[in-house]
Amino acid sequence: MGCRNKDEVDQLCHQARKEGILAKKATDSGYPVGYWAFIRDPDGHTLEISYGQEIGLTVEQHQA
């Protein structure tokens, strides 16, 4: 899931940590990977949340 900024990733990680579903804390891997983390949904599936990946930049440009 693409986020608007690093703060949004951090907020989601904070909430996930409180709920015990944070699978991988936020990591800044630089371009092109960006700032990302993994959380688990109730069924145990892993969801990536990220900022700074190419797709996120494309969405921002489209909305402008």
pLDDT for res 46: 97
Interval 17-46 mean pLDDT: 95
Q: Poorest-confidence range of 25-29, 32-36, 55-59? A: 55-59
35-54 confidence digits (pLDDT tens): 999 999 989 899 999 998 87
* CA gap 25, 10 in Å, rounded: 9
Integer-rounded Cα radius of gyration of the chain: 12
- pTM score > 0.85 for this model? no
pLDDT for res 53: 82
Counting Cα atoms < 13 Å in the Cβ hemisphere of 10 gives 4
Instruction: Spell out the domains of the chain, with CATH numbers in brackets.
Output: 6-63 (3.30.720)
Confidence of residue 13 (pLDDT cuts 50, 70, 90): very high
* CA gap 64, 44 in Å, rounded: 36
Contacts of 21 (CB under 8 A, 6+ apart): 39, 40, 41
